[in-house]
């Protein structure tokens, strides 16, 4: 016998709303329909808006003059569940194992989204209204990069006008520790292609007289960092804002995260920029990563060719106040300065996203902290995260407001991976958090 | 109306004897059967020997005491013809275009092999015997690395006892210029794999704190050469025999090959070890080539992962007196000295082959040169080639004899590529060469 709230979550979880896979379009649509109906049932006027992709749901309580307006964002789509064989329970049949709900989407993002919806339901049932003007904005394309959300925000700018955004789609530092994420890294991507001969050459006949694009791409990649892992692109660190003393102190209190990182990544040892803690390296320092490198023979054994071309795909994680376009320009200039001999070089610039940083001691930040403290007990952890959430920047750009990131996922919730799970306790805490948050934001 | 000789070559060319493709096993077998029958018809007693793969043909004239014994090697198998769409004529239907025979195998090796067979036929018809004891050894697995030939040589060591081997399966420096190849480079292959995290990691969440195997493989590859292309593996050049003065002079006479190499390779510019000519770089200097590099995302656009592993496949072309096993040991030691941080390194050693060098002024070398001079007029070009022909080493190891490489292919004969072709003139010259060669070797 589950609680009615858990039953609702299970219903939503059973829709295999895999946004990237058109085979699941009907499931994704059904999830949106059910969610809108649920919102209507609890007293939030919900409307489904079509987009070129999956629909967006907007739901509002009755908005009153003189109250704060809060936008609650979430997404009802999920990652694919493949490989199915690695799941210990059916990926789209929620199953309780110990104290956790196992299911694709349990943590990302249906569990966190439904905790908020159930919190709203409780408040509306008990008090007849919410303490704020609320806008729910739930989309179905987060897992494919929210291609239609920014245009949607622009088209519905007036309808979505608000004072602040709240999202539960990030992590907690540990079970039971309320966690406020006040910063995210930005991103800038590019790809570099080294082109040599017009066809793959016989490395015996020609080797020695022409440049090898695979050798040259490696040489180029090796110029990105020094031996200690510091990025060598001139100007790369110029705009990096130093960590505030309170941040350094606050993160130190999270203890030694090195062993957890080793365990979760499986890396043989940690390696990062000297002079920074493991958390500082991931949350407050920019990086240059090779996401892919390739060229020449990829099969078993050997094939003695000089490949006609080779490539490397880079992404740079950025921190305040680095500007993605400036970084890409600096990277492109660096690659051209170091262009190896004997090849043609092409640099393709890719997508970018600004780093995000808000003041956790702003009035809204403090309100979020109080809500976390009342929910979980104890001072919340104040953290940044290393990833990038482009919608947060879209809210800033289009609506001009900050986003409060109040995550409920644990490090071992396996988001995007097989055996995704969500603790029942976090689902229940999320409902309580929703109630406290709206109360605090109303003040 | 073709000559009877050209008709025979066309018949052999029509068998699609693609040794690597079991779909063509019947064609490959039919080619062997036809060739053995042809040899019997001209008076060479041919026997088909089964192997674990495609058969080997041995054919002999009547051997007389007191005569030289010459082994003539060739192969009746061919490379696959894919991609068919790039052929301007049917790949397995010999077609004369201008002065060339277009067909898969036209140059490599059926055209060159049949030139010799037709030369034997002519001598036998005109003179009733050959001037030497001849052994034809024709195999059907050259294009797949002759896996069964060395054991076959060992098993038939007595039957194949000879004074010298002759092969036409190499190149001519230009049309009409008789070319004697007296050296080949050796080879040593290995692969290095850098392993980091246990799965591909999210480069936002984890980037900065763990080593990236793609970055590290690039760093490792970049230690192989200095900026000018000199190999940096300690001891790599220690055993390299210097080019003899006569070689340097002889190769200079071949003129400036740089523009031809640029045209044939399509490379934007030449790049090689400083202080050597383009020919010296390809024929007399060892190399370190990356034949393949890979790791992480290989598709379109970007995927922000830290790959769990990355690899590089190397081959080293070797020259006298480098020892393949010593080179691989030095490379492995070098890779381990330069092992980047934060990853596990695995080095897999691959196949090796010795470099080959014979004295072109030895009695057999001079005989070959005289045969070329009589056939083509003018002094033959004395060259080495950059590739490796493992069977040449097998003849040396098992039979204890040198191999005379008297190539008939032109640089634009497109061996292994679409639109393979062979000049009719080279086919006819090959017949004459066979007659002069046996006469000279008999002296």
> For position A48, which CATH number holds?
3.40.630.10
Question: Sorting pLDDT into bands at 50, 70 and 90, what band is B301?
Answer: confident
Q: Are residues B85 and B224 in the same domain?
A: no
Q: How far is B227 from chain A (nearest CA, A)?
A: 8
Shared domain check, A196 and A178? no
Domain membership of residue A289 (yes or no) is yes
Q: Does B405 touch chain A (CB under 8 A)?
A: no
> With contact defined as beta carbons under 8 Å apart, do B208 and A287 qualify?
yes
Distance between CA A301 and CA A309 in Å, rounded? 20
State mean pLDDT over A251-265. 91
Domain that holds residue B196: 186-240+286-353
Answer yes or no: A77 catalytic. yes
Regarding pTM above 0.80, the answer is yes
Question: Residue A326's domain is classified under what CATH number?
Answer: 3.30.70.360
Instruction: Give the rounded percent of residues in chain B with a pLDDT score beyond 70.
Output: 100
Instruction: Give strand ranges (E) for B236-358.
Output: 287-296, 305-306, 309-318, 344-353, 356-357
pLDDT digits (tens, 9 = 90+) for B379-425: 999 999 999 888 998 999 999 999 999 999 998 898 888 899 999 99
Q: Is the CB of residue B260 less than 8 Å away from at least one CB of chain A?
A: no
Q: Is residue A265 part of a domain?
A: no
**CA B310, CA B217: separation in Å to the nearest integer?**
6
Query: Each residue of B73-106: pLDDT tens digit?
Result: 999 999 888 888 889 999 999 999 999 999 999 9
- The residue in chain A having the minimum alpha-carbon distance to the alpha carbon of residue B299 is A292
Say if the Cβ atoms of B385 and A210 lie within 8 Å.
Answer: no
Does one domain contain both B104 and B227? no
Tell me what the pLDDT averaged over chain A comes to: 96
* pLDDT tens-digit readout, B131-190: 999 999 999 999 888 989 999 999 999 999 999 999 999 999 999 999 999 999 999 999
Whether A348 and A372 map to the same domain: the answer is: no
Answer yes or no: is A292 within a domain: yes
Tell me if residue B412 is catalytic: no
Question: How many angstroms away from the CA of A383 is the closest CA of chain B?
Answer: 13
Sign (positive or negative) of CA dihedral A291, A297, A300, A304: negative
Give the position of tokens 């040599």.
Answer: A196
Q: Are residues B202 and B139 in the same domain?
A: no
Q: Examine the domain organization and report whether A206 and A143 are in the same domain.
A: no
Do A37 and A64 fall within a single domain? yes
Q: Give the C-alpha separation, A236 to A225, whole Å.
A: 11
Residue A192's pLDDT band (cuts 50, 70, 90): very high
Q: Are residues B316 and B194 in the same domain?
A: yes
Mean pLDDT for A15-34 is 96
Asked which of A324, A353, A382 is the last residue of a domain, the reply is A353
The pLDDT-based confidence of A83 (bands split at 50, 70, 90) is: confident
Annotated catalytic residue: which of B142, B309, B385, B402? B142
* Tokens 């953290």 -> residue: A383
pLDDT of residue B263: 92
Q: pLDDT confidence of B351, banded at 50, 70, 90?
A: confident
**Neighboring chain B residues of A191 at a CB cutoff of 8 Å:** 302
Q: Are residues B296 and B374 in the same domain?
A: no
Buried-exposed string A244-272: b where 16+ CB fall within 10 A, e elsewhere:
eeebeebbeebeebeebbbebbebbebbb
What are the two backbone dihedrals, phi and then psi, of residue B280, each rounded to the nearest 5 degrees? Answer: -60, -40
In the prediction, which pLDDT does B422 show?
98
Query: Token digits for A186?
Result: 């930005």
How far apart CA B433 and CA B74 sit, in angstroms, is: 15
Which pLDDT score is estimated for A328? 98
Any domain includes B256: no
Residue B214 has pLDDT above 70, yes or no: yes
Q: Which of B203, B313, B387 sits opposite A315 (nearest CB)?
A: B203
Which pLDDT value is given to residue B1? 67
A103 in a structural domain: yes
Q: Which of B76, B72, B105, B112 is nearest to B91 (CA)?
A: B105
Query: Contact B203/A302, CB-based, under 8 Å?
Result: no
If you count DSSP H runs as helices and E runs as strands, how many of each does chain A have, helices first? Answer: 13, 18
Predicted ipTM? 0.89
Domain end call among A323, A353, A383: A353
Look at the alpha carbons of B89, B93, B99, B105 in this order and tell me if their dihedral is positive or negative. Answer: positive
Q: How far is B193 from chain A (nearest CA, A)?
A: 12
Looking at residue A395, its pLDDT comes to 96
pLDDT at residue number B417: 84
Higher pLDDT, A202 or A134: A134
- Residue A313 touches chain B, beta carbons under 8 Å: yes
How many domains are contained in chain A?
2
The verdict on A300 touching B (C-beta cutoff 8 Å) is no
- Structural domain ending residue among the three candidates A310, A333, A353: A353
Residue B342 to residue A270, Cβ atoms within 8 A: yes
**Helix A213-221, helix B213-221: angle, nearest 10:** 120
Do residues B390 and B421 share a domain?
Answer: yes
Nearest-by-CA chain B residue for A221:
B218
**Which percentage of chain A shows pLDDT scores above 90?**
89
Asked if the structure places residue B344 within a domain, the reply is yes
End-to-end CA distance of chain A: 38
Same domain, A397 and A337: no
In this structure, what are the phi and psi dihedrals at residue B172, rounded to the nearest 5 degrees?
-105, 145
Q: Are residues B438 and B301 located together in one domain of the fold?
A: no
**Which of B197, B207, B387 is facing A282, going by the closest CB pair?**
B207
- Report chain A residues whose CB lies below 8 A from the CB of B212: 289-290
Q: What pLDDT is attached to residue B74?
A: 98
């Amino acid at each position: 016998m589950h609680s009615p709230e858990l039953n609702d979550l299970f219903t939503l979880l059973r829709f295999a709303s895999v946004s990237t896979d058109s085979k699941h379009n009907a499931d994704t649509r059904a999830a949106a329909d059910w969610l809108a109906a649920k919102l209507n049932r609890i007293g939030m006027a919900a409307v489904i808006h079509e987009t070129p992709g999956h629909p967006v749901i907007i739901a509002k309580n009755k908005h009153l003059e003189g109250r704060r307006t809060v936008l609650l964002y979430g997404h009802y789509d999920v990652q694919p569940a493949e490989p199915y064989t690695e799941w210990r329970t059916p990926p789209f049949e929620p199953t309780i194992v110990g104290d956790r709900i196992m299911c694709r989407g349990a943590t990302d993002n249906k569990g966190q989204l439904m905790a908020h919806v159930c919190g709203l339901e409780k408040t509306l049932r008990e008090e007849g209204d919410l303490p704020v003007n609320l806008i729910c904005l739930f989309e179905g394309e987060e897992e494919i990069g929210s291609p239609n959300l920014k245009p949607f925000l622009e088209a519905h700018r007036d309808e979505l006008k608000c004072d602040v955004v709240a999202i539960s789609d990030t992590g907690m530092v540990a079970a039971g520790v309320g966690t406020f994420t006040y910063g995210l890294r930005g991103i800038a991507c590019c790809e570099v292609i080294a082109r040599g001969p017009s066809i793959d050459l016989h490395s015996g006949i020609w080797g020695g007289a022409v440049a090898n694009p695979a050798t040259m791409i490696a040489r180029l990649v090796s110029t990105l960092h020094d031996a200690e892992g510091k990025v060598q692109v001139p100007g790369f660190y110029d705009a990096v804002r130093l960590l505030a003393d309170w941040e350094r102190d606050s993160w130190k209190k999270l203890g030694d995260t090195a062993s957890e990182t080793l365990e979760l990544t499986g890396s043989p040892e940690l390696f990062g920029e000297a002079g920074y803690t493991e958390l500082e390296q991931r949350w407050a320092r920019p990086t240059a990563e090779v996401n892919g490198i390739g060229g020449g023979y990829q099969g078993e054994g050997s094939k003695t060719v000089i490949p006609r071309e080779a490539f490397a795909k880079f992404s740079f994680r950025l921190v305040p106040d680095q500007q993605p376009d400036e970084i890409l320009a600096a990277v492109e200039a660096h690659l051209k300065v170091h262009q190896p001999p004997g090849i043609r070089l092409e640099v393709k610039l890719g997508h970018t996203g600004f780093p995000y940083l808000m003041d956790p001691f702003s009035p809204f930040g403090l309100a979020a902290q109080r809500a976390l403290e009342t929910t979980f007990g104890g001072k919340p952890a104040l953290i940044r995260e290393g990833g990038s959430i482009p919608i947060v920047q879209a809210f800033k750009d289009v609506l001009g407001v900050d986003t409060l990131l109040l995550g409920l996922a644990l490090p071992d919730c396996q988001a995007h991976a097989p055996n995704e799970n969500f603790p029942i306790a976090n689902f229940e805490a999320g409902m309580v958090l929703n109630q406290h948050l709206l109360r605090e934001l109303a003040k």
